[in-house]
Structure 1
Amino acid sequence: MQFLFEDFVLDLDRRELTRGSEAIAIGPQVFDLLAHLVQNRERVVSRDDLLDAVWSGRIVSESTLASHINAVRKAIGDSGADQRLVKTIARKGFRFVAEVREAPSLNGSSTPAEPPPSGETPALPLPEKPSIAVMAFQNLSGDPEQDYFADGIVEDIITALSRIRWLFVIARNSSFAYRSRQGDLKQAGRELGVGYVLEGSVRKAANRVRITGQLIDASTGAHLWAERFEGALDDIFALQDQVAASVVGAMAPELERAEIARAQRAPTTSLNAYDCYLRGIANLHRGDRESISDALRLFEQAIALDPGYASAYGMASWCYLWRRVNGWTADRAREAAEGARLAARAVELGRDDAVALTRGGDALGHLAGDLDGGVAMLDRALALNPNLAAAWFLGGYLRVWRGETEVAISHFARAMRLSPLDPEMYRMQAGMAVAHLFAQRFDAASSWAEEAISATCRAF
């Protein structure tokens, strides 16, 4: 359902607020607050009503409610002084007083969606283009120590699929959030806002590897395709390409036989280097001090084994950046210089490697103070891989520091949609808060900061 007032469109199914052709970035609770006021515009909505509808009855301070009301007004061009659209009724509550027209959403539905069962995450609207989430594959090797290998295989499949511009691919951090859940894939598709889900398994034994995959229609739970790929470990990159190509081939009948235009190349010719890289990635995602140190050591080993491994340079430089941000280094000048050196090497070697450009470009911006160069590298990464959530997220911060607050906000919004269940969502929300703060939209900044704090509490 869409609600039209003045030159705004509030789309409940897509959870979007737009003004003309411009999307307005607002926090989830601010959106819910506005939606509740608009839907109940025929009456005065009390404070208790808002707490029940937006905060599920949780007690929040008067200042929190006031900041969210102010953020609603700011988003729709209103203010507490004017109260042109949202009127405060003394000692009673609030009422949305603008003239509103209702219309079906762009997806053709004219009836509100069924509310999600209690305890479930609300459904995200489907993107306008075909969409897929690749879940963590099962490790069937019988050795938990091989989990990193299965995860690395999946990350490379995600990367291969992400290069297809007409395909919307959920980021690894969000799809891997389901690793410990034995949930319904239909539910995962609904919560991630995708039409397709890919699940599978990896078995590695001696010099052989077997990858199986199943493609599921997330709306019906129907299996559209299942296949097994097997070969020597030396052929791992070719096997990954086969999986990606077969997935898209299975989706193609539903997508008017869209063409696959991919120019794949193996990231390294050294399988030992690749193994070190995958182990490093596994440690990097843990994020604690010891794991980051282990990740740096493994990326440095990968570089020693393959001096042309651009992604390994990028990840190593980012480890130095992460150590600096968290105050985990005693010699800041030396580590900053080494991180900047590795970042420069990453972007030099990885002109066509989105991961190397993303991590290396971000490290250049922060460690070498080269914001312009860092932004340029991240823009190139997005040109190569428009589905890379990390590039949108990290690029958002560089844009903030360069004073481009509106571009930064759009970058963070895109990252959050590509990875809606990301364990690091709080960092994206914090970026939104900083961008709005720099743009002097203090109510919106306060709202996003509260979202970030809530997400941090859930993450830790």
Structure 2
Amino acid sequence: MVQDRPIRVERRLSAIMAADVAGYSRLMHNDEEATHAKVAALLIDAVTPAIAERGGRIVKNTGDGFLAEFPSAVEAVRAAVQFQARIRELTVDDSEDSRIMFRVGINVGDVIIEPHDVFGDGVNIAARLESIAEAGGIWISSSAYDHVQGKIQAEFVDMGEQSLKNIERPVRAFRVLDVAMPRKPALPRRDKSSIAVLPFQNLCADAEQEYLADGIVEDITMALSLFRWLFVIARNSSFTYRGRTVDVRQVGRELGVRYVLVGSVRKAGNRIRIAGQLIDTETRAHLWAGRFEGPPEDMFDLQDRVTEGVVGAIASKLQIEEIKRANRKPTENLLAYDYYLRGMAKHDFESMAANQEALRLYRKAIDVDPKLACAYGMAAWCYVHRKARGWMIESVRESAEATSLAWKAVHLGSEDSVALCMGGYALAFIAHEFDAAATFMDRGLEANPNHASAWTLGAWLRVWRGEPDVALEHVAHAVRLNPRDPAGVHGAAAYAHFLLGDYDSASAWAETSMRDSPPFLLPICAYAASNGLAGRLEPAQHGVELVLKHRPGLSISNLKDLASFRRGEDFALFSAGLRKAGLPE
């Protein structure tokens, strides 16, 4: 008897490219025949020649996109850069609402090969990266990046770990920027005046003192960010390196900075010691090192000396007034400062209990120092979180408390970016004081243009004010300052694209934001509404199911409790999308 032989499966390591047309459903709805013809022409004139020239093959077409395989990651990325540039040339005269733009994802993986298809996680990762890329963008996995870095003329922006749908492990992603493509000069450049303050090692015997080391790093970061000539990476991105042995050259490449500051904090008995080293990421040279020790009541002075040492090593001449301004502390009261730092440490935990504890600690700081503007701002921000996540129990009373705290913050914090931006945003989101909010938040960004969270909140404010183009400019600033932890920015980008009518991009950004912070209702609502208006009822209905899971009583009638749109037409559009998705009246 002849036994059946096992079917041989062909596998090989390949670079997989997935691509589709951004906003395809909207484009087809507006003009089916013209859209179909334009896509077909671009595939013939731009895409297919670039892929063939670079040794790739289109495995299959997917209606509004395609799947391609390459024997080389370098050639795959070169092909993508080439045809994206050609598509921009061919569509430069098209109107914004009819322009065809492709999104591209590239991954290197071991895949199963068939004559007209490829399968496996390597393919799925490429497809998921494509789904979160911006219109006209190229995103690649870390496996592809390892093959192409240093081999092609392109710039890579580290987008951090991405949790991709149906992919078990997070995938680190990089955005590819064509160096030949002109870009707006609005974003800070990555030059010699750029720095990241990495997490200081906590050498205290008590692990509970971790908040102290983090608070010192936060203060030094904020002080450095007040120097307008110095580009400072946000704390959240720097803290992704916590607990890791780092190569400073790699950190420099990943964050786009020339210098890093590393250090340690030790508190023993009645003494505290802060040590720091400033390192050039290109040469690995140690430019400055300092160790400062004193009693706890001298902690502010110790921090100031670290800041002055770093700045003095970078710039040979500085105005003494600028140093004084950067070293100005929000309070001279150590007890108030300690309560504030403890509140900040609790604030990072996304739970109602942690939010309540952070609010309690900020109030304790205010009790000790009633003029501590940043504590008022962060307390108001606690209420913003409570409203956005449906945690408010007595909404009228809590809204009144939040508004009072916000006004205190902006009036006391004339030059305090935290107070102005957190308090200002609370005025918009809770009290609907949109014009006042814009005034105070712009003042906060003027005081500290390196404040990444302020740019993120500014993006949300512009969404609520009905200014999606400005919102996307704020998103770009926030991502550049905080490239490895863009939580919150994705949600703002989703709403901006939603207001611009690009429901495909809105859905993709919302889905990414939902992975950032699953209980956050606003991105889930954007996901449901954008899919509803795009006619994709299954994902839209799934979005509403998630919304009602987290807030069972939400309906069209009380939707204004969640979405603070200023313009009636924006709220009407949002309501229409959720109504189509199945949100109850």
Coarse TM-score class (shorter-chain normalised): 0.7 to 0.9
> Equivalent residue of 1:337, what SS?
helix
Counterpart check, 1:429 vs 2:470: no
> Equivalent residue of 1:215, what SS?
strand
- Structure of greater Rg: 2
After superposition, what is the alpha-carbon deviation per residue over 1:49-82, rounded to whole angstroms, capped at 9, x for unaligned?
279999xx9xxxxxxxxxx9xx989996658998
Q: Aligned pair count?
A: 385
Counterpart check, 1:210 vs 2:278: no
**Which of 500, 503, 507 matches 1:442?**
503
Give the Cα separation in 2 of the matches to 1:305 and 1:51. Answer: 64
**Which of 77, 94, 112 matches 2:153?**
112
Letter in 2 for 1:210: R
After superposition, what is the alpha-carbon deviation per residue over 1:272-297, rounded to whole angstroms, capped at 9, x for unaligned?
11101000000001222211111111
Residues 290-369 of structure 1 correspond to what in structure 2 (within 5 A)?
290-369=353-432
Counterpart check, 1:452 vs 2:462: no
Identity %: 47
Letter in 2 for 1:330: I
- For the 8 Å contact 1:124–1:190, the answer to whether it is kept is no
**Which of 371, 387, 405 matches 2:468?**
405
> Equivalent residue of 1:40, what SS?
helix
Counterpart check, 1:249 vs 2:312: yes
**Which of 236, 239, 260 matches 1:173?**
236
Letter in 1 for 2:392: T
- For the 8 Å contact 1:197–1:217, the answer to whether it is kept is yes
**Offset of 1:194 from its aligned partner?**
1.0
**Offset of 1:321 from its aligned partner?**
1.5
- For the 8 Å contact 1:123–1:190, the answer to whether it is kept is no
Give the Cα separation in 1 of the matches to 2:349 and 2:52. Answer: 50
After superposition, what is the alpha-carbon deviation per residue over 1:137-167, rounded to whole angstroms, capped at 9, x for unaligned?
0111111110001110110000000000011
Partner of 2:574: none
Change (3 A) 1:243 1:412: same
Counterpart check, 1:385 vs 2:448: yes
Give the Cα separation in 2 of the matches to 1:286 and 1:39. Answer: 50
Residues 90-101 of structure 1 correspond to what in structure 2 (within 5 A)?
none
Counterpart check, 1:40 vs 2:59: no
> Equivalent residue of 1:49, what SS?
strand
Partner of 1:219: 282
Q: Decide which moves more: 306-315 or 228-237.
A: 228-237
Change (3 A) 1:366 1:38: farther
**Cα RMSD over matched residues?**
3.8
**Offset of 1:83 from its aligned partner?**
8.0
**Offset of 1:225 from its aligned partner?**
1.4
Change (3 A) 1:115 1:304: closer
Letter in 1 for 2:299: I
**Offset of 1:208 from its aligned partner?**
2.5
Partner of 2:68: 49
Unaligned ranges ≥5, structure 1: 1-33, 58-67, 93-108
Counterpart check, 1:272 vs 2:282: no
Give the Cα separation in 2 of the matches to 1:273 and 1:332. Answer: 28
After superposition, what is the alpha-carbon deviation per residue over 1:65-111, rounded to whole angstroms, capped at 9, x for unaligned?
xxx9xx9899966589988898xxxx99xxxxxxxxxxxxxxxx996
Partner of 1:373: 436
- For the 8 Å contact 1:311–1:350, the answer to whether it is kept is yes
Give the Cα separation in 2 of the matches to 1:293 and 1:179. Answer: 26
> Equivalent residue of 2:475, what SS?
helix
- For the 8 Å contact 2:192–2:257, the answer to whether it is kept is no
After superposition, what is the alpha-carbon deviation per residue over 1:397-438, rounded to whole angstroms, capped at 9, x for unaligned?
01111111111110011001100111xx24201211211211
Change (3 A) 1:73 1:376: farther
- For the 8 Å contact 2:155–2:176, the answer to whether it is kept is no
- For the 8 Å contact 2:57–2:70, the answer to whether it is kept is no
**Offset of 1:38 from its aligned partner?**
11
Give the Cα separation in 1 of the matches to 2:367 and 2:214. Answer: 23
**Offset of 1:218 from its aligned partner?**
1.4
Q: TM-score, normalised by structure 1?
A: 0.74
**Offset of 1:305 from its aligned partner?**
0.8
Unaligned ranges ≥5, structure 2: 1-42, 59-65, 77-83, 103-115, 118-149, 159-170, 178-188, 521-585
- For the 8 Å contact 1:283–1:291, the answer to whether it is kept is yes
Larger relative contact order (Cα-Cα within 8 Å, sequence gap ≥ 6): 1
Change (3 A) 1:426 1:155: closer
Q: Decide which moves more: 274-283 or 321-330.
A: 321-330
